[in-house]
Amino acid sequence: MHAVNDPFMLLANAPPGIATAGERRADLDRIMDQSGHRDPRTVVGYIRRANAFKGQSGSGFL
């Protein structure tokens, strides 16, 4: 079983489109409205975790 703070598990459970919307700099309120999230920290966390691996030397393996 994976730890709760395992970034791969959190990304696997992220609703599709949240990271993409964040990359495209969509308005946080609009992302929350579309995804149904009430706490902005949840959405921001998904976006940060998705972006954490961008630009890394091994990012092509993910």
Q: What is the mean pLDDT of residues 4-12?
A: 52
Rounded-to-integer distance, Cα 18 and Cα 34, Å: 9
Residue-wise pLDDT for 11-44, tens only, equals 556 677 888 888 888 999 999 999 899 999 999 9
Q: By the 8 A CB rule, do 2 and 8 touch? A: yes
pLDDT at res. 31: 92
pLDDT at 49: 82
> Going by C-beta distance under 8 Å and a sequence separation of 6 or more, which residues neighbour residue 52?
7
Question: What pLDDT, on a 0 to 100 scale, did the predictor assign at position 23?
Answer: 83
- pLDDT, position 5: 54
The DSSP letter of residue 49 is: H
What CA–CA distances, in Å, run from 39 to 16, 44, 57, 60, 62?
A: 17, 9, 32, 32, 28
Written as six digits, the tokens of 34 are 């579309």
